[in-house]
Structure 1
Amino acid sequence: MIKRNIQISSKRLAGYGLKVLLAVICCSAIFSCKKNDSPYYDYRNEVQEFDGDILAYLNANRSQYDSMLLVLDRLPALKDSLVNRKLTVFALNNKCFQTAISELNQARALQSKRKLSLQNSDILELDTMMSKYLIRGNYGTERLSPFVDGSYVESINHDYPMHILYKKINASGFEGGGPQVLTFSDPKGSIFVKFWERTQTVAVNIKAKNGVIHILSPGHVFGFNEFVKRINK
């Protein structure tokens, strides 16, 4: 009787061991699948090329950049530079401007002032703010990546200093294997980062014939937190 019980127990232990082994195999397979299914597992930081100048790129994607193009139409010298000069442009989609205008008119409503739009906002102030997104020279990620503390760059007008910091995001299981991201900052004349206004890109390295285009997050508000102050006069 005792011998029979020992045999039964041995069978149960063997069965239990088999179950554990199968569970380990399944878990390994699931982990492996998750890793392979990660959107960044096989990520490649590829350069996109556009067969045209920077202005042509914005026009080709007008549904996203209507507002930026509207401001550039009011600033012909800046608009011309997108065709005839070597630039790095941080492109802003329509939401960046819509948020700025909404905040402006909320402030003006509290002051019983009439609404304003991009069509009738102060043109000199628009020039000052828009110029910050147009950087002299070609700053693709390959040029920016060696500088761990980022690079100071100059805006096309007013020689205004801006700052670009390169980073490669970690992907699942791959340190530094994910997308490239640029942090684009207005230092506000300060050497202390805590006083800077900062935003990030959602796409980089769109190469046009006269420069490179990086796309800013739609959460960025045009003007680096100065739009209301500058326009609400």
Structure 2
Amino acid sequence: MMNRNRKILQWPIMLLVLIAMAFTACKKDSEYYDYENNVKEFNGTVLQYLEAQPVNTFDSVLLVLNRLPALKDTLTNNNVTFFAPTNASFQAAIKNLNILRKSQGKTPLYLKDCDLSSLDILTSRYIIRGSRTTEAYAPFADGVLYASVNYGYQMHIQYDKLNASGFVQGGPQSIIYSDPKNNIFEKYWERSNTNAVNIKAKNGVINVLAPLHDYGFNEFVSRVNK
């Protein structure tokens, strides 16, 4: 009789535990569902934002920009959207370049030595005229083409809101930034994801590319290996 009463008492307790767990899970998922990628504000230019970041973040792109004063001026005085490659992107490109050069019996090349016209062409592809946050791309399900600076080269930008905790389109905002290679067939495109978006500077917006991005959209080696 005592065991039977004990079992009867256990049911309400278990029920309360289950309700509490369900409430906690719903609350957690709700936080993800209501996630907003708040726009960060930086009190300076796009170039100054790059310079203000910790060592080993944007040193490589700053080195390239110092060799390309016109692009450096663009990031200072023009309204732009900049897809910023981190040091890791340049390290991968330089490593691949010098593996090839070694196999060809050539001396190593580094960013300070690379052909300026090639660096200008490739770096220009990371800069789009006009200051735009993800709100500009969100309405286009298949993405949208924008001309990059200097050469008017077409780059493709696609809004991608990540999923979280089972909620479709319930997570952080992201962008897929692609070089279409002047080709209508997407299988030939070089794509890159972002790690951070909508960083607002006085003269533009910075989106930080993921470290796995290869600087030059897989053209760096072929262009500078001369």
Q: Secondary structure at the match of 2:32?
A: coil
Q: Deviation per CA, 1:162-198, whole angstroms, max 9, x where unpaired?
A: 0000021122143322100100000011111111000
Which residue of 2 is the match for residue 43 of structure 1? 35
Counterpart Cα distance in 1 of 2:106 and 2:25:
55
Give 2:136's match in structure 1, choosing from 143, 154, 160.
143
Which residue of 2 is the match for residue 86 of structure 1? 79
State the one-letter code of the partner of 2:50: L
Which residue of 1 is the match for residue 50 of structure 2? 58
Which residue of 2 is the match for residue 4 of structure 1? none
Q: Is the counterpart of residue 111 in structure 1 residue 107 in structure 2? A: no
Aligned length: 224
CA distance 1:212–1:29, shift in 2 (3 Å): same
Counterpart Cα distance in 1 of 2:107 and 2:137:
44
Counterpart Cα distance in 2 of 1:151 and 1:20:
57
Does the CA contact (< 8 Å) of 1:35 and 1:41 recur in 2? no
CA apart distance, 1:41: 5.5
Q: TM-score, normalised by structure 2?
A: 0.91
CA distance 1:180–1:15, shift in 2 (3 Å): same
Which residue of 2 is the match for residue 177 of structure 1? 170
Q: TM-score, normalised by structure 1?
A: 0.88
Counterpart Cα distance in 2 of 1:197 and 1:60:
29
CA apart distance, 1:30: 3.5
Give 1:33's match in structure 2, choosing from 15, 24, 27.
24
CA distance 1:232–1:173, shift in 2 (3 Å): same
Which shifted more, 26-35 or 86-95?
Answer: 26-35
Q: What RMSD in Å do the two structures reach over aligned CA positions?
A: 2.0
Q: Deviation per CA, 1:130-178, whole angstroms, max 9, x where unpaired?
A: 0000111122111111111111001101100000000211221433221
Which residue of 2 is the match for residue 5 of structure 1? none
CA apart distance, 1:114: 0.4
CA apart distance, 1:32: 4.1
Which residue of 2 is the match for residue 213 of structure 1? 206
Q: Identity rate of aligned residues, in percent?
A: 49
Q: Secondary structure at the match of 2:58?
A: helix
Which shifted more, 29-38 or 66-75?
Answer: 29-38
Please, which runs of 5 or more residues in structure 2 have no aligned partner? none
Q: Is the counterpart of residue 95 in structure 1 residue 88 in structure 2? A: yes
Highest CA radius of gyration, 1 or 2?
1
Counterpart Cα distance in 2 of 1:184 and 1:133:
9
CA apart distance, 1:45: 1.2
CA apart distance, 1:33: 3.4
Counterpart Cα distance in 1 of 2:79 and 2:220:
27
Counterpart Cα distance in 2 of 1:75 and 1:166:
30
State the one-letter code of the partner of 1:189: N
Which residue of 2 is the match for residue 165 of structure 1? 158
Counterpart Cα distance in 2 of 1:119 and 1:67:
10
Which shifted more, 220-229 or 42-51?
Answer: 42-51
